[in-house]
């Protein structure tokens, strides 16, 4: 959680954005993030994000559900309270498959969604800095973090030359805070010190 | 997720060509831009609701209140408020339960199975269909709960360590499987629906013009920014949830069919039930989606997004699943004779198929509505006719209601003890009121959804826009006319 200086370049076409991303990275700038109105395939790889392992988490939650269901039901029906149902076996695995399956799916889905929210740091009442309001509409917003070596004016020119329709400079909080979207807030005001 | 007909390879200086054959009908009509898509879909949320919305909403709330009063009667005076009798212990309540659960299958089918099958047309209809699923499952859940009679004991269906023994639930019982299936299905559908909604709610938030809107949509959109990494995870989440929901949606109605199939009641004790119920569920679910969307696209002027192509695709699903259901009916009838079991034979050939038996009318109503009339959709002209589509969607849902009524009541009203055969089951006003009440609940929720949430998945439409939007497809004409050599020369890197 700290305030940083960012150069923001907005693109109106993903076909222009892709070569620009490549050039910005080749030039050695650090892309903080690219905000897009929809999932642009290949962009994650282009800005150097590794593949997510969310699905692996989903698998682990799933087998947790399977084990939970199987162990609970078998303990209840063979140890804790064996019910005599028409003299049939207490360990009635085929009859338990529906519930085992449902709990597998339930654990996996709930676990994945919670993990997704945790990883993305999203939740009700969470507020973040938005670099451009049209990033959820029709603009592809490339945000580059300024370091002590960055020449902001050069970078702005560079972005404009590579097809950005709008370029600006913003000092912003890079993390999230508990906040309301109907209020303009600048949180962590007194912690602005270091970065630049 | 769908539409990987093209790729974008960042190693190339230019993006690969976004190309989809012109032979495929566009998914988005008109020459739209990304911004236009946002405008079109968010407009109903930002505009004041029209008079039709208020009229519809108040009718729905009225029905809901009637339902609440009917349930109040049932809880206060007992289950005797319903006309269930000695043999017909499941009447309208379980018929309606199965009917609503069935309707609740289309949403997840559209969003999950069609996503795995890469059916681009799902993007226009998935959001509304998923919402419909959730509301339908909410309605379905009411019936078994209030049917318990002593509803304050409803928590007995949950397995938890308690002071009564401990007394556990019966894990070998299909009725308990149902508890798990329906609650899991509801939870997963809700998560799937809402996780898809988050980016679109953020779109609404970022264009909100009042403080209240900003605040509420700000809370609802969880602080979504549209970060590339978040989108990557979002895609992964949707794909895995789709993978999970696909067997889930098949399992839910399979388990509902087990409620019947694992019994020893003639007409219920059949192995054909799971696939037959699943097909029927998809059939009725798509019909309900059609009923809603045909009206919604008109009222909200969304004909460009829910095109005739979408309507036609769903009608194809209806004729397919309707025919599967038809084959199941005929198979059952055949087996009723072929098994040479006289109880099965009596149920199928007298109680059901004999027109002049007490409930013969419901069997033939079912046959007409579900099997005969949907065959009209073999004709392209009929599939693309809005009036026929709407009319048929209502007919199909009436037919599917009859199906559940036929299965439940015709198997029960004459049991193994002929002295119990005397009472003809017909619903009491409070049974009907309860059913009407669930209509009220369903439409109240749907009207609120349509007013306050994007009824079409904005981000997903934008995603398919450049491959399947009419404006972009028209530009593909020049490319399609090229010779292969020219094509390679112009577009290969």
Assigned token pair, B2: 């769908």
Give the H or E element holding residue B397. helix B386-405
CB contact under 8 A, B15 and A14: yes
- Residue B409's nearest CA partner among B177, B92, B190 is B92
Cis before residue B153, ω within 30 degrees of 0?
Answer: no
- Who's near B390: CB < 8 A, 6+ residues apart? B290, B291, B294, B295
Tell me, which fold does domain A3-49+123-191 have in CATH?
Alpha-Beta Plaits (3.30.70)
pLDDT at B286: 92
- Who's near A140: CB < 8 A, 6+ residues apart? A10, A11, A12, A13, A14, A17, A34, A35, A36, A37, A40
Q: Does B193 touch chain A (CB under 8 A)?
A: no
Residues of A in Cβ contact (< 8 Å) with B203: 37, 136-137
Q: What is the band of B10 on the pLDDT scale with cuts at 50, 70, 90?
A: very low
Residues of A in Cβ contact (< 8 Å) with B7: 41-42
CB contact under 8 A, A137 and B251: no
What is the residue extent of each domain of chain B?
A: 34-151+171-417+425-472
pLDDT at B491: 66
Q: Per residue in B96-122, pLDDT tens?
A: 999 999 999 888 888 888 888 888 888
pLDDT at B19: 66
- Who's near B254: CB < 8 A, 6+ residues apart? B274, B277, B278
Q: Say whether pLDDT at B2 is over 60.
A: no
CA-nearest residue to B9 within chain A is A42
Q: Are B290 and B315 in contact (CB under 8 A)?
A: yes
* Distance separating the N- and C-terminal Cα atoms of chain B: 25
Residues of B in Cβ contact (< 8 Å) with A136: 199, 202-203, 205-206, 224, 226
State the average pLDDT for chain B.
88
Interface test with chain A among B33, B226, B465, by most A beta carbons within 10 Å: B226
Assigned token pair, B156: 């007995």
Instruction: Report how far Cα B34 is from the mean position of its chain's Cα atoms.
Output: 29
- Who's near B33: CB < 8 A, 6+ residues apart? A138
Q: Are A182 and B211 in contact (CB under 8 A)?
A: yes
CA-nearest residue to A21 within chain B is B10
- Whole-model pTM: value is 0.91
Mean pLDDT calculated for residue range A138-158: 88
- Residue A137's nearest CA partner among B32, B226, B196, B217 is B226
Interface test with chain A among B161, B225, B264, B454, by most A beta carbons within 10 Å: B225
Q: Does B207 touch chain A (CB under 8 A)?
A: yes
CA-nearest residue to B244 within chain A is A105
Q: Say whether pLDDT at B432 is over 50.
A: yes
Nearest beta carbon to residue A116 from set B174, B237, B251? B237
Dihedral of CA atoms A164, A169, A175, A176 in degrees, nearest 10, equals -90
- Residue B283's nearest CA partner among B305, B248, B315, B244 is B315
Q: What is the band of A186 on the pLDDT scale with cuts at 50, 70, 90?
A: low
- Residue A106's nearest CA partner among B264, B189, B209 is B189
CB contact under 8 A, B184 and A106: yes
Q: How many Cβ atoms are within 10 Å of B221's Cβ, its own excluded?
A: 24
Q: Per residue in B355-405, pLDDT tens?
A: 999 999 999 999 999 999 999 999 999 999 999 999 999 999 999 999 999
Q: Say whether pLDDT at A125 is over 80.
A: yes
What is the residue extent of each domain of chain A?
A: 3-49+123-191, 54-120
pLDDT at B160: 85
CB contact under 8 A, A15 and B192: no
Cα maximum dimension of chain A: 83
Q: Say whether pLDDT at B205 is over 90.
A: yes
Cα maximum dimension of chain B: 86
Size of chain B, expressed as the number of residues it contains: 493
Residues of A in Cβ contact (< 8 Å) with B207: 133, 137
- Rounded CA-CA distance A173/A189 in Å is 9
């Amino acid at each position: 959680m700290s305030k940083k200086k960012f150069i923001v370049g907005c693109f109106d076409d993903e076909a222009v954005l892709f070569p620009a991303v490549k050039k910005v990275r080749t030039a050695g700038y650090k892309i903080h993030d690219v905000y897009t109105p929809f999932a642009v395939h290949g962009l994650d790889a282009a800005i150097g994000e590794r593949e997510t392992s969310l699905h692996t988490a989903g698998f682990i939650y799933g087998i947790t559900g399977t084990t939970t269901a199987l162990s609970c039901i078998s303990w209840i029906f063979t140890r804790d309270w064996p019910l005599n149902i028409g003299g049939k076996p207490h360990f009635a695995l085929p009859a338990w498959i529906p519930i085992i399956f449902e709990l597998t799916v339930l654990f996996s889905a709930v676990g994945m969604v919670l993990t997704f929210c945790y990883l993305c740091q999203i939740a009700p009442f969470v507020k973040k800095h938005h670099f451009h309001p049209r990033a959820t509409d029709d603009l592809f917003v490339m945000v580059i973090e300024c370091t002590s070596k960055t020449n902001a004016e050069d970078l702005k020119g560079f972005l404009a030359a590579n097809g950005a329709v709008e370029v600006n400079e913003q000092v912003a909080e890079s993390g999230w805070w508990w906040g309301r979207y109907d209020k303009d807030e600048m949180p962590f005001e007194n912690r602005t010190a270091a970065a630049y | 997720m769908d539409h990987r007909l093209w790729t974008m390879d960042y190693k190339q200086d230019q993006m690969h060509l976004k190309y989809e054959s012109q032979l495929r009908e566009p998914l988005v009509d008109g020459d739209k831009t990304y911004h236009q898509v946002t405008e079109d879909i968010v407009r109903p949320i930002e505009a004041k609701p029209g008079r039709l919305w208020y009229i519809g909403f108040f009718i729905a709330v009225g029905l809901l209140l009637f339902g609440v009063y009917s349930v109040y009667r049932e809880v206060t005076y007992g289950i005797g408020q319903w006309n269930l009798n000695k043999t017909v212990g499941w009447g309208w309540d379980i018929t309606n339960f199965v009917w609503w659960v069935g309707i609740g299958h289309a949403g997840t089918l559209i969003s999950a199975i069609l996503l795995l099958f890469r059916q681009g047309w799902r993007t226009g209809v998935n959001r509304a269909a998923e919402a419909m699923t959730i509301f339908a499952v909410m309605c379905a859940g009411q019936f078994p709960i209030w049917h318990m009679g002593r509803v304050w004991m409803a928590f007995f269906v949950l397995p938890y360590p308690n002071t009564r023994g401990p007394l556990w639930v019966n894990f070998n019982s299909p009725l308990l499987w149902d508890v798990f299936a329906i609650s899991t299905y509801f939870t997963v559908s809700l998560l799937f629906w809402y996780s898809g909604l988050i980016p679109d709610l953020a779109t609404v938030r970022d264009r909100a013009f009042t403080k209240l809107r900003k605040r509420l949509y700000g809370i609802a959109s969880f602080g979504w920014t549209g970060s590339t990494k978040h989108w990557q995870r979002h895609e992964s989440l949707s794909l895995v949830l789709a993978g999970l929901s696909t067997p889930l949606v098949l399992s839910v109605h399979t388990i509902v069919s087990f409620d019947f199939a694992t019994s020893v009641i003639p007409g219920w004790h059949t192995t054909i039930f799971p696939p037959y119920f699943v097909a029927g569920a998809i059939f009725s679910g798509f019909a309900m989606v059609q009923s809603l969307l045909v009206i919604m696209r008109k009222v909200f002027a969304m004909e460009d997004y829910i095109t005739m192509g979408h309507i036609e695709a769903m009608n194809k699903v209806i004729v397919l699943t309707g025919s599967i259901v038809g084959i199941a009916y005929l198979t059952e009838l055949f087996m009723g004779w072929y098994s040479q079991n006289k109880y099965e034979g009596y149920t199928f050939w007298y109680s059901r198929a004999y027109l002049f038996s007490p409930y013969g009318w419901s069997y033939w109503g079912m046959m007409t509505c579900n099997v005969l009339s949907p065959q009209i959709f073999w004709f392209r002209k009929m599939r693309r006719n809005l009036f026929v589509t709407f009319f048929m969607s209502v007919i199909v849902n009436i037919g599917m209601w009859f199906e559940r009524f036929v299965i439940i009541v015709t198997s029960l009203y004459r049991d193994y003890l002929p002295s119990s055969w005397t009472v003809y089951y017909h619903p009491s006003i409070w049974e009907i009121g309860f059913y009407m009440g669930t209509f009220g609940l369903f439409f109240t929720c749907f009207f609120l959804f349509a007013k306050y949430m994007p009824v079409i998945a904005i981000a997903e439409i934008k995603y398919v826009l450049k491959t399947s939007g009419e404006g972009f497809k028209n530009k593909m004409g020049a490319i399609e006319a090229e010779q292969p050599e020219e094509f390679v020369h112009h577009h290969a890197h």
